[in-house]
Amino acid sequence: MVSTEMRDKSGSGRSRKGEPEVQLEVFFHGIADKGQCVGRTAAGETVFVVGPVPGDRALVRVGRKRKGFYRGMVASYLERSSDRVEPPCSHFPTCGGCKWQHLAYPAQLAQKERVVRDAIVRIGKLLPQEWLPMLGADPVFFYRNKMEYTFSNRRWLEALLPGHEEDRFSPVLGFHPPGAFDKVIDIHHCHLQMEPANAVRNTIRTIALKQGLTFYDARMHQGLLRTLLVRVTTLGEIMVALIFGEDNPDVTRSFLGEVQEALPRITSLYASVNTKVNDSLYDLDMELVYGDPTVREKLGEFTYRIGPKSFFQTNTLQALTLYEVVRRFADLKGTERVYDLYTGLGSIALYLAPWADRILGIEEVEAAVEDARMNARDNGVTNVDFLAGDVRALFRPEAVAQWGKPDLIITDPPRAGMHPEVVAALMAVGAPRIIYVSCDPATQARDLQFLSANYHILRMQAVDMFPHTHHIENVALLVAKDKE
């Protein structure tokens, strides 16, 4: 291990926070949250750094050890990983939307599978009877159907040339870099969203600049143009929602009219005014300017109508892969009663409907339940019911007595996992089988550990929904110990 004291400008050998700095030689072996790469020194010390990829060896500048590990930044590379690749995006790595474009995709899959296994074994202290290989995505670029962009009057610049301080104050449309709430990177070609998303975003920026409209100032909370939502479906339909920071109907009407004329491929155009401090769209009134109120998307044999606030898997093609894993794990014979907890707009419930006798979906967000019911009607599905309300309140033994005991429960909770009361209810209901779909292996492992008192993990399979990010979907099939 190399340990060299670093000198600041005063020669004190301390960082700006007054902490001593050293350089450690680190071999990087894995990925972690927020684009961090994890490595170890020869002495076994753990170090987290943004920038390296597994297989790199580097000298890393670190401060004081905290909670048993170091965080640092690369001072110099000693050896480059054979899994390093040239990222295709000109905005990488500054924008932060993709964390791992510089890591070859097969290596990304291997690392994500390792993350899942480590979580289940180390956190859950569990060992599934069968590990199935992780399913990769195809394509690995231009796979998202929805993106939200930010208008800003403060441009993010990695370096500011002397005498050009005003360069930072220019209207831009794109993404916040990590840790900068008030600045935005001007995005011209994003490799995440399906086309023609880039053309839509860039055309809207051009129109706004030509009309001299003000872009939002997040510090002062003023400016006309605030956020932009773009949805693109595999059926060729496009939804655009423009969110304004000020209520100025005459100006916005002219702007929206030119957008409509310049982008005739848009099938749904919405507008809204947001004068809140936060950018959330879900509590805003959305006005349909022209076109259809929804766009259509297809998964398998089902067509879904999606509104501006709808919850829908953002990788359409890989969602089909995920739902096929759920269907195979479910192994339905047509006689089963199924509960789908955290059902969203009912996409899993509707997908499984042809193979089940009856499905009950439970979802907290009323708007999502309305979407689910609409999509069930549109697709002629009559054996699925949806309840709106907190899963904690609705999924209880009393409700099961009313709706019937399930043969299978599917749970697809948010990143935080299931509330302990929901886990307790699962144990009390005692369904013969549970399928747990998770977007966070760590919280899934925690919940599975509690469930392991009554259930074995029969099999598990991860699905990569979001290439070049650390996000992972993992599906686990549980079988009751007294039903084996």
Quote the CA–CA distance of 409 and 361 in Å, as a whole number. 10
Catalytic residue selected from 37, 89, 98, 439: 439
Report the pLDDT value the prediction gives residue 158, as an integer from 0 to 100: 59
Question: Which run of H or of E encompasses 241?
Answer: strand 238-244
Q: How far is CA 261 from the centre of its chain?
A: 33
Question: Which run of H or of E encompasses 399?
Answer: helix 397-403
Report the pLDDT value the prediction gives residue 321, as an integer from 0 to 100: 97
Report the pLDDT value the prediction gives residue 35, as an integer from 0 to 100: 87
Total-model pTM = 0.90
If DSSP codes are grouped into helix, strand and coil, which group holds residue 414?
coil
Q: What's the chain's length in residues? A: 484
Listing DSSP states for 87-154 in one string gives -S-TTTTTS-S-S-TTB-HHHHHHHHHHHHHHIIIIIS----S-EEEEEPPSSSSS-BSEEEEEEESS
Quote the CA–CA distance of 82 and 87 in Å, as a whole number. 14
If DSSP codes are grouped into helix, strand and coil, which group holds residue 173?
strand
Report the pLDDT value the prediction gives residue 18, as an integer from 0 to 100: 55
Report the pLDDT value the prediction gives residue 8, as an integer from 0 to 100: 37
β-bridge partners, 291: 268
For residue 451, which of 461, 438, 470, 468 has the smallest C-alpha distance? 438
Q: With b meaning 16 or more CB within 10 Å and e meaning fewer, what string describes 316-326?
A: bbbbebbbebb
Listing DSSP states for 196-237 in one string gives THHHHHHHHHHHHHHTTPPBPBTTTTB-SEEEEEEEE-TTS-
Q: Order of strands, edge to edge, in the sheet holding 433-438?
A: 131-135, 455-463, 473-480, 433-438, 408-411, 337-341, 358-363, 384-388
Whether residue 57 contacts residue 26, with contact meaning beta carbons closer than 8 Å, is answered with: yes
Cite the beta strand spans of 10-79 per DSSP E: 22-31, 36-40, 46-50, 57-62, 69-79
Report the pLDDT value the prediction gives residue 297, as an integer from 0 to 100: 95
Instruction: Kindly give the confidence (pLDDT) of every residue in the chain, 484 residues in length, as a single tens digit, with 9 standing for 90 and above.
Output: 444 433 333 333 444 455 567 899 999 999 998 889 999 999 999 999 999 999 999 999 998 888 889 999 999 999 999 999 999 999 998 888 899 999 999 999 999 999 999 999 999 999 999 999 999 999 999 999 999 999 999 888 654 445 445 566 789 999 998 878 889 999 999 999 999 999 999 999 999 999 999 999 999 999 999 999 999 999 999 999 999 999 999 999 999 999 999 999 999 999 999 999 999 988 899 999 999 999 999 998 999 999 998 888 999 999 999 999 999 999 999 999 999 999 998 999 999 999 999 999 999 988 889 999 999 999 999 999 999 999 999 998 888 888 999 999 999 999 999 999 999 999 999 999 999 999 999 999 999 999 999 999 999 999 999 999 989 999 999 999 986 5
Report the pLDDT value the prediction gives residue 82, as an integer from 0 to 100: 97
Question: What number of CA atoms fall less than 13 Å from residue 93's CA on the CB side?
Answer: 16
Report the pLDDT value the prediction gives residue 6, as an integer from 0 to 100: 37
Quote the CA–CA distance of 153 and 175 in Å, as a whole number. 13
What radius of gyration do the chain's Cα atoms show?
A: 25
Report the pLDDT value the prediction gives residue 20, as an integer from 0 to 100: 62
Domains of the chain, first to last: 4-79 (2.40.50.140), 107-140+315-483 (3.40.50.150), 146-299 (2.40.50.1070)
Decide if 439 is catalytic: yes
Q: With b meaning 16 or more CB within 10 Å and e meaning fewer, what string describes 227-261?
A: bbbbbbbeeebbbbbbbbbbeeeebbeebbebbee
Q: Which two tokens stand for residue 463?
A: 């699905």
